Chain A
Amino acid sequence: MQFALPPRRSLHTLPGANSSRLPLYRRKQLKTIAIFAFAVLTLLYLLSRLFSSSSTSLSPPAGTAGMVIVTLLDRQSLSESYINKIVTNREDYAKRHGYTNFFASVSDYEEAIGDAPRSWALIPAMRHAMATYPKSKYFFHLSPHALVMNPTTSLKSHLLDRSRLESLMLKNVPIVPPDSIIKTFALKQKDVDLILTQDGEDLSPSSFILKNGDFARFFLDLWFEPLFRSYRFAKAETHGLDHIMQWHPTVLARTALVPQRILNAYSKDSSGASQDGSYKDGDFVIRFPSCDEGKARDCDELDPYYSMWSKKAKST
C-alpha cells in the first residue's frame, strides 16, 4: 500500500540512538581549539617564510653591499694621475650609496685572454668580481673612460626600481642598431638579469648592470668563449656581444635595453652616439669613447668634466 505523503518522523528517539547535535559547551570548546590551532599554524608558517626567504634570497646580508661597481684598469696604457681620478670618482660614488668598488687590472687576465685584444678582459674581471662578492646582488661594469657625473643618484632609484625600469625599457626595437631583425622583448622587471644600452652602431658593453646568479655565469662564460675571441671580431667583445644577442634567445630573453643617456651618455665630441645619446647636464654617467681608441696615457677630454664633477661632489 502506498501513501501520498511520507510518514512523519517519530518524535521519540529510539533507545540507543545518539543525538546528532553536540552539546553547546562542547561546540564552543571545539571552536576555541580550532581557532587556536589555526593561529599557531599561521604563526609557524609566517616564521618559516621569514627564515627561508632570508636564507635563499640574493639580497646581501649585513655588511655586504648590494651593488658592486667593477672598473677594469689597464695600468700599462693609463697614467697614474688618470687612474687616480677614476678611482676617486668611483670611491666617492660608492661611499655615498653604500656600494662596493672592485678595481681589476687587465694584466691579471692576460693569460686567460691569450692572443685576443686586451679589451676582452672585462669579462673575466666581472666573473672575478662575482667570485669575490658572491652575496652581492648587482654588478655594475663601468668603463675606465667614464665618470659618474651625478653622484647623488642611486642606481636603485635611477634604474632598478620596478616601475622605473619597466617604463625605461626599450621594447620591440632592433637589438643591434639600426635594423637588426632580432628585436627586444617586453619584459617584467623580475625577468631582467642584464641591463644594456646601445650607441649608434652597436650594443655597448662599456656600461652595463648584471644581476648575480646562474644567468650571469652562463652569459659571461658564453661571451668569453675562446672561439669568439679567436674569431677576430672587428670590435672584439663589442661585436661578440652583438653576436650573442642576435643568435642566443636565452640571453636576449633576460636582457633589457634602456636609452643610452640613462647609463652611458657619450661626450659631445663623440661621433658614435645614438640619437639623443649625447651627454646633457644632469645625466648620470658620461663616457669618452675617443679615449678608448686614442693612444694617449691621459684622456684630456675627461679633464673639464672631472672638474665639474669635483665641484658638484663638494657641494653635495
Chain B
Amino acid sequence: MSLSRSPSPHPGGGWSSPGLTPGSGASTPGGHSQATLAPNGISWAAAKAKSDEVRKYPSFSTRNSGFFSRQKRKISARLPSFRGQASRQGYVDKDVYGRGQLHAGGPGGCGPLATLKMGETWKTNEGYVTAIVQLYRRSPLGGGPKFVIILGSNVEGGVMEWKGAREWAIERNSIWNKQQYVKRWGYQLEIANMLAQKRYSHEWRESWEKGDVIREVMRKYPHAEWFWWLDLNTWIMEYGTSLQSHLFNDLDSHVYRDINEYNPLNMTHPLPEFFLDDLGRALEGDGNPDSLSLLLSQDCSGFNLGSFFLRRSIWTERLIDAWWDPVMYEQMHMQWEHKEQDALEYIYQSQAWVRSGVGFLPQRKINAFPPGACGDGNDPAVHYQEEDHDFVVNMAGCNFGRDCWAEIYNYRAISSKHNRSKWEWISDRLGSAREWAFGKKD
C-alpha cells in the first residue's frame, strides 16, 4: 500500500519506532519494519484518539489556539488510515509496557495451570496489602502528600502544534512512568503543559515557564513541602525507592553546599566582597539542612534543571520572583541559550543571598545521564550505572543528534527488569528454566 502522505517520520509510512510498529512490541531500538496491515493493525485515527487522551491529565491550559488547534479534526479526517481489524479499544498500545496478558504456558509463563492459580491467589493477597500500604502513604501520616512531582510536558503538540508518533510515545511513556511512581508512594503528580512558548516574540518570555508553573503548582498543593521538577525526557528507574529514603531522611549526608567540590563553570565561591556578612561569605551556608530550599545537580556544563527539587519557603518565593526580570532579560536573553538554567547560574553567581539556600547533589543521585550526554564514555560520576540501580535517568539533549525514543525504550526495559514483583521474578525464573530444559519455543 502506498500512502499519499506519511503519518510518521519514516518514509515508507507506518510507525518508524521500535515498539510502535505492529508486531514489534519486544523489538530493540535500532531496526524497524515496514507497516503491514496485520489483523492487529493500528488505525491512524484510533492512534490519534488514543494520543488525545493525554489531554485528560491535569495540566495548565494552553494560551495557544492557533490554526492547527482549530482545524485538527478536519485535517485528521482527511489523513489516510490503515485498514485492519482493530482491537476492542480500537488501538493496541504497544509502547507502554506491563500491559501484556499473562498466557499460561507461554514463554514467560510457568506451564502448569495449578502454579498459575496459586500465583493469582498470592497476587490477590499481595494486592490487598499493597492497597493498604498505598493508602497509608497517601495519608499525611505516611508523608506522601508532602511531595509533588511536576512533569514538564507538551500535551498539545510540537512544531506547528503537530507531533510525530515517537513524540507521542515518549510523552505517554514518560507520564505513565511518573504515574506508576507516585501511585506507589502516595505523592502527587502535576503535568505542566509547556506548549505556550511564543519562541520568536519578545512580548512573551521565551520558554521561561518553569518559575511560573512551579508557583502555580505550589498554590494548587498548599500542604506539599517539596516539589520535584522533571523534564519529559526523564525516566524514574527505581519505583521501590522513595524520595524520603533516597534523600530526605538524611539530606545532610547527600548534599554538598560548597560548589568548589565540583565547579565546571569555575565560579568564585565564596564571594570575596568584604562588605558581606558571615553567611554571605560562608563556604557551606549556615550548615543547617533545614535552610536548603533548592536541590539540583550539575552536569559537565553547569547547573542542570532537568531534575531538581524546590522546597516551599520564603526563600523559594524570592528565588522564583528574582529568576526572571525584564532588565536582566533584555540584556542577556541572546546569551542565555538555556534560558532559566543560565539565568539561575547567573543569579547564583551575582547575588549572595541565593547561595545559602542551594544544595548540590551528585549527578547520579537525581539526574544520571545516558552515554552520549556529557561524553560518549561511561563516566561513573555522570552516566547511568545499572549495577548501582541509579534512581533517575535524564536523556538530556537526546533531541540533538540522538534518538530520544530509542533511549527511553532502552531504559524502560532496564527499569521493567529492576521493578519486577516477586511473582514476576519467579515467573521469569520458571520460564527461563523451562526454556533451558525444553528449548526455546518458536
Contacts and interface: CB of A to CB of B under 8 A. Distances in A.
A134 interface: yes
A222 B354 CA distance: 10
A110 interface: no
B277 A131 contact: yes
A174 interface: no
A44 interface: no
A243 B276 CA distance: 24
A98 interface: no
Contact of B273 (A112, A130, A227, A247): A112
Given A227-B328, A227-B331, A109 B275 contact: yes
A218 interface: yes
B332 interface: yes
A221 B315 contact: no
Nearest to B326: A247
Given A127-B276, A230-B331, A221 B325 contact: no
A217 B279 contact: yes
Contacts of B328: 225, 227
A80 B359 CA distance: 49
Interface string A125-158: 1011011001000000000000000000000000
Interface residues on B, range: 20 to 34
A134 B318 CA distance: 22
B409 to A, nearest CB: 43
Interface string A197-232: 000000000000000001001100110011110110
Contacts of B331: 227, 230-231
Contact of B276 (A131, A230, A231, A251): A131
Contacts of A130: 277
Contacts of A108: 275
Contacts of A221: 351-354
B275 A125 contact: yes
B315 A214 contact: yes
B280 interface: yes
B322 A217 contact: no
A221 to B, nearest CB: 4
Given A218-B353, A227-B331, A250 B280 contact: no
Given A214-B315, A214-B353, A248-B321, A231 B327 contact: yes
8 residue pairs, one from A and one from B, having the closest CB atoms: A128-B275, A131-B277, A221-B351, A250-B321, A124-B275, A217-B353, A218-B353, A221-B353
